[in-house]
Structures are given as C-alpha cells and as structure tokens.
Structure 1
Amino acid sequence: MSDRSEKLARFRQLHAGDGTFVMPNPWDAGSARLLSHLGFEALATTSAGFAFSKGKRDSFAGLSRDELLANAAEIVQATDLPVSADLEDGFGAAPETCAETIRRAAGVGLVGGSIEDATGDPADPIFDAGLATERVAAAAEAARAEGFVLTARAENFLWGRPDLGDTIRRLQSFAEAGADVLYAPGLPDLDSIAAVVGAVDRPVNVVMGLSGKPLTVADLAGVGVKRISVGGSFARAALGALMRAAREVRDAGTFGYAAEAMPDAEVAALMSQVVSPNRS
C-alpha cells in the first residue's frame, strides 16, 4: 500500500493540475476495491451509503464519529488511492470539535475531508455565517498541521434555503478561513454552478446523482468544476439493483437478475486474499 504522504501529494496534485476529475464514493471496503480497479484517481467516503449499510437513515444522529472513522479506515486500507471523507458537521458545533475531527481523520489515513455548515436542527438548519466560518478556520488550522485537504460545504440548497448569494458569500468566507476546496451540494443547474465557480478562487466540488437536470462530466468541466463526486447515489443504485432482484424472485419466481450479476471469479479477483488470523 502507498503511504499517506504519497497519497496526499497525489491528491493535492489532482486539485492543482489541469482538467476535471471524478472522485466516486464507496461505502465500504468491498465497494472501494471495485472502484479502485476502474481507473479513478481518488475516492471519497459517503455517510449516506455507510448509514444505509448499517440499516440507518442518513442523518446527524445516525452515525457516531467513531463509527464513521472506523468505516473510513477500512476503505483507506482497501485501496492505494487517496481517500477523502464526508465528515458531516464535524460532529459538534464548537470549532475545536471540528479541529479534533480533522486530526482524528488524518490519524486513520485519510488525506482529505469535508465539514458542512448544516446544524442537523430542522428548525434552524444552517449555522450562523460567523460561527460557520470560525468552524472552518479551526478545521483549516488542524488540516495545515496534519497535512490534509479540507473541503468546506455550504448546505443552503439541501435545507430549503436556495439563496445563491448567501451560498457564494459563505464559500468565499470559507476560502478566506483556509479551506482548500469549496462545495455547495444541491445547486439546481449549470448556471448556478458556473456562478459559484466564477465567484471563488478555490477548486469547486460538485455532487452528481441527485435529482435535477442531468449534466455530464464534460458539461461540468466546461464551466470550470475541478472535482465531481456522487455522494450516496452509487450506494442507492446498488440498493436499487438488490430490490429489483428480490422483487423478481418474490413476484415472478424467476432468477433472471443473475444474468447481470458480477461473476464470482471477477469479484474474487478484485477482493483481498489476506486471511484474518482469527479465522477458524
């Protein structure tokens, strides 16, 4: 396996180089192994996909920091690619809590991660802009000390606040506070994405696989997007395939789904052959 410093250098170069790169989101070590063999240059965890695998909803109360970082550590160990993590709200409102989350994330081998400005409180879903910026500043200080690519997320469009002006101002403040990458999930169209890219001086991440007008990698590259992720949509696609297969068996009594399943030999070739010492 590549060491963390080498992965960090590769990850930083992806953001500094020309063009746009896609960073898909595995939800466990097995899906990380599959994606690693397809030519992608980096991976990102998904709190949503991991929550689904644990039988939980994707929510602030669904996963603890320890659970999320343990999952991220397994993904890191499963691949030679750089891995960035969805670190939700930093697992606490206080700036120092966000900083501690960054330190712990670096400690499990992650080379990057995101902190969002959503509170988890439906009645007051977005942190005050001042506190949100303080949280990013604390996380950025920890990221510089640890060697870590910090992504700052402005969550307005996911929480019923479709205010592009406020979103851009927040992202600009996050950049001034030291964020390396900026991200506003849920932007509704290419024009709003282009407006964000044009208004900030940091690489911009865009998530695809949500609802809305379908866009291509070429579309996003054309307006200057640096990084594209897919959030929990790959996990949901896998769950969709499972449900279609199960309904076929239940309703038709047939097993046609097997024709589209990955062959066992192909799966086995991509998975680890290391045998646990505890295996009987």
Structure 2
Amino acid sequence: MIDARDLRKRYGGSAALDGLDLTVAAGTVHGLLGPNGAGKTTLVRILATLVHLDSGTATVAGHDVHRHPERVRAAIGLVGQHAAVDELLSARQNLVMFGRLSHLGHRAARRRADALLEQFGLTDVGEKPAGRFSGGTRRRLDLAAGMILTPRVLFLDEPTTGLDPHARAEVWTAVRHLAAGGTTVLLTTQYLDEADQLADHVSVMHHGRVIAAGTPAELKGPDRLDVLTTGDPATAAARLGTLGPVTVDGRKVSVAVHDRVAALTLAATLPDVADITVRRPTLDEAFLHLVAA
C-alpha cells in the first residue's frame, strides 16, 4: 500500500531524509519509531503530498506522490500531531463540516457524520461542543474526521502525544477498530509501548533512514536471563558469557538466551545468586540499542 525508495529531503544544510526505504503492506498497522529529528513527520508529509521530495520515488495506494498527488489525496486520510477540530462546533457539526469540505452533499455529509459518531463511540456527545471534550474524546473525533471518505490509507502522526493513559487507551481502541475494518495505518510515535500494542510491523528511523524493521517480536530479539548477584558480578558474567555477550548493570548480569532450560540450569549453579529471571525483552531496550549503535 506504501512503497518508498531512496527518499531524500534536505532543509538547508540538514538532511531530514537520507536515502529512506519503506514498504507498508495493505491492511496493516505499521509503526514508525524514532527520536526527535529522525525524519518521521517529514516522511508523513511527503507521503501525504504536503511536501515535495528532493529525490527518490514513493507510491501510496498505487499512485505516485509526485506525478499524481491528487489521486494520492483521494485515497488517504491524515491526522496530525494537533487536533484539527473546531472547538466551538459540536462533534456532529465538525464531521458535517469536514464532509462538506470533502465535497459530500449536505445529506451525504450528515449520514456520514452519524455513521462516524457511532463507529467511534461519540453518539452520546454528538451535540456537545468539542471544546468541552477530554483529550481522548477530542482525539477520537479527530480520527473520525480523518475517516470522512473512508481512506484506504490513514496517516497518524503521533496521535497520542500529551494524552493521559486513559485517553491513550481510547485512541488505541479506535485505531484497532480502523485496522480491523481494512484501513492501512501508518503510525508515527515516540511511545514504544504504543507501537508494541498496535503495530503489526515496525520500522525504526534514525538520521533520516530506516535502520531496522520487523515485527515487534523480531525487533525485541530472544529472551533475556537476568541474574542478580550478591557477590562479584564479574564472576557471574564470566560464567554466563558462555551463552553469549553479557551486559552488567551494577550487580545485575544479563544475557540473551535461546534455550530457557539450559540458561536457568547454568544460572542455578552460580554462587551468591539473589534472584534469577527469564523475561521477554522490551521494545524500549531494542530501540535504545538500535539508535545507540
């Protein structure tokens, strides 16, 4: 559904995108992770035809973003970092307005507004001004506005920034609903747990390039064995080093493991052990390792 090859974009002397490649399969949620300045928003703006690329090629829903931007716009929805709804209008009035701006007739716009209010659980607040909504409810209204024309591809640029945990959970539910309905979602986020919860596939961006890609499970890698010792951690590190490269953090020694039973058996023979844990690594750990490499 999205195919980008060797995308490059410079602002002055800085490269926002530096030979980026990206492929997004149809009907999936694809997460874009990266620190501030990695180029995530620039990429979304190029794919949404808001910014011209300097070189490279990109297609969205089968249409070239440079040669046929009008076809791309007809196939996409975009929800930016800041809510775009009018706070003085009710939820229904906002959706009708967006429908009319999208060239729907008045009756068609009202029917679509009613359908979206129900789809996003906003029927009970449909007549209330958006300025009275909580952050999560306002963001759901913003998502609904992005779905006015039932886009084949929806770009979500950090949709939960600044929201509390309850509001974030509301948005996550709405995104899952969209994906289940067949919409391809490209999600940029700085929240690793968000990508872990929502994304079928994740691309990690750094310095304008994709430096790693895969499912969240693939990026996390194998299980890790953590051993907390009351003695010299160097002793535990030397023994656990037979399993692979170890990391030492204070008195905790960690190593990636592919055979849980063998790893636990070895750990149980170590002297001065206070605690042994085998756990799944987090996406945070994988991300920090990748961007620090």
TM-score by length of 1: 0.34
Structure possessing the higher radius of gyration over alpha carbons: 2
More strand by share: 2
Higher relative contact order (CA 8 A, sep 6+): 2
More helix by share: 1
TM-score by length of 2: 0.33
